[in-house]
């Protein structure tokens, strides 16, 4: 079965390592969709797809390159994280057999835990009922919060790795990862807008169904950012969200600098994502 992998790595300031990872992906029978680092987030997002064996092989080659170079004790960045390989979702191109998909993810997670001595927490459709409530608490505490506690992972040791923390892994439905950058230095407006998005979602506003949002300061650029995941892209569209945020920012005197797509977007979503230039979008044909 063809799957998309979107591993997020906790490094973003080592261009040499990023080049090595891009070169390594070229050696595998996968289609490379995205491989970019961000200085302020201090994070690298990779996205590649192929048959499960090829995707697994590529992931472990990347882990062999990246994980020895990461030390979260020395990590500074605006993005929350708990692991060197912080999160690794898999998205099947077609509706899978859930039992078979879970078996494959379990195998990948068990192997990663053994080879790199990292606790692995399963999430989304791989989650087995252990971490529905625990994962948000783990993430809220960050890497430092992990070190002080005994853990109950699905695979691997019961203590966080001293440099690499823990990894969250599982298969899920497709989502759109999207940023809107704002011309403000201190992230006051971006954090306020992100909070309003979360409040409207909790209050049941259909325009914000499944929208997760955080506001960040990007010091290297002197701007701020509203960072979003649209987890229900079949019913929640890009254009209305960006238009609402842009208008709300302008009302308080802040100009938007345009949206930025992170990773890939499905061809079907582009009809309602006209704010994203097609030549800047990695488009995949997916259910």
Mean pLDDT of 78-100: 97
The average confidence (pLDDT) of the chain is 95
Contact at 8 Å (CB) between 51 and 61? no
Vertex 162 angle, CA 75 and 15, to 5°? 35
- Dihedral sign from CA coordinates of 115, 118, 124, 126: positive
For the beta carbon of residue 61, count every other beta carbon within 10 angstroms.
15
Q: What is the pLDDT of residues 8-58, one digit of tens each?
A: 999 999 999 999 999 999 999 999 999 999 999 999 999 999 999 999 999
Tokens of residue 144, six digits: 């430092």
Mean pLDDT of 132-160: 85
Which residue bears the tokens 């506001």? 215
Give the pLDDT score at 138.
Answer: 72
Give the pLDDT score at 155.
Answer: 97
**The CATH number of domain 2-171 is 3.30.990.10:** yes
Vertex 33 angle, CA 211 and 277, to 5°? 65
Rounded Cα gap, residues 209 and 243, in angstroms: 16
Range(s) of the chain covered by CATH 3.30.70.670: 176-284
Q: How confident is the model at residue 132 (pLDDT cuts 50, 70, 90)?
A: low
Mean pLDDT of 89-100: 97
Question: What DSSP designation does 170 have?
Answer: E
Which residues lie closer than 8 Å to 250 by C-beta, 6 or more apart?
Answer: 256
In the chain, the percentage of residues whose pLDDT exceeds 70 is 98
Range(s) of the chain covered by CATH 3.30.990.10: 2-171
Q: Which fold has domain 176-284?
A: Alpha-Beta Plaits (3.30.70)
Q: What is the pLDDT of residues 231-285, one digit of tens each?
A: 999 999 999 999 999 999 999 999 999 999 999 999 999 999 999 998 889 999 9
Mean pLDDT of 160-167: 97
Go through the chain and tell me how many residues it has: 287
Model confidence, pTM: 0.96
Residue 105 to residues 19, 73, 78, 125: CA-CA distances in angstroms? 27, 28, 29, 10
Asked if pLDDT for residue 134 goes beyond 70, the answer is no
Contact at 8 Å (CB) between 128 and 154? yes
For the CA atoms of 279, 266, 87, 188, the dihedral, rounded to the nearest 10 degrees, stands at 60
Contact at 8 Å (CB) between 221 and 40? yes
Q: How do 264-266 and 256-262 pair as beta strands?
A: unpaired
Residue 96 to residues 29, 71, 176: CA-CA distances in angstroms? 21, 36, 20
Contact at 8 Å (CB) between 229 and 92? no
Closest CA to 171 of 224, 107, 124: 124
Please report how many Cα atoms fall inside a 13 Å half-sphere around the Cα of residue 75, on the Cβ side: 28
Task: Tell me the β-bridge partners of 180.
Answer: 226, 259
Positions of E strands within the chain: 2-5, 8-9, 31-38, 43-51, 85-92, 120-122, 167-171, 176-182, 211-218, 223-230, 256-262, 264-266, 282-284
């Amino acid at each position: 079965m063809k799957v998309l992998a979107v591993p997020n790595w906790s490094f973003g300031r080592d261009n040499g390592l990023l080049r090595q990872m891009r070169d390594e992906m070229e050696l595998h029978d996968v289609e490379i969709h995205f491989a970019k680092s961000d200085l302020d987030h201090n994070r690298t997002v990779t996205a590649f797809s192929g048959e499960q064996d090829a995707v697994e092989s590529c992931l472990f080659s990347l882990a062999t390159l990246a994980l020895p170079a990461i030390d979260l004790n020395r990590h500074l960045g605006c993005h929350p994280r708990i692991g060197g390989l912080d999160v690794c979702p898999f998205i099947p191109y077609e509706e899978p057999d859930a039992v078979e998909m879970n078996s494959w993810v379990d195998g990948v997670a068990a192997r990663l835990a053994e080879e790199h001595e990292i606790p692995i927490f399963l999430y989304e459709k791989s989650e087995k009922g252990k971490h529905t409530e625990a994962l948000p608490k783990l993430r809220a505490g960050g890497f430092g919060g992990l070190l002080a506690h005994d853990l109950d992972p699905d695979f691997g040791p019961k203590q966080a790795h001293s440099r690499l923390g823990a990894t969250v892994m599982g298969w899920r439905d497709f989502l759109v990862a999207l940023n809107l950058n704002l011309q403000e230095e201190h992230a006051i407006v971006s954090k306020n807008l992100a909070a309003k998005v979360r409040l409207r979602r909790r209050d049941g506003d259909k325009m914000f169904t499944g929208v997760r949002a955080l506001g960040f300061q990007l010091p290297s650029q002197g701007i701020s950012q509203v960072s979003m995941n649209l987890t229900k892209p079949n019913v929640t569209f890009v254009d209305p969200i960006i238009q609402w945020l842009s208008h709300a920012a302008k009302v308080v005197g802040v100009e938007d600098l345009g949206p930025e797509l992170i990773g890939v977007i499905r061809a079907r979503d582009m009809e309602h994502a006209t704010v994203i230039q097609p030549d800047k979008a990695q488009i995949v044909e997916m259910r």
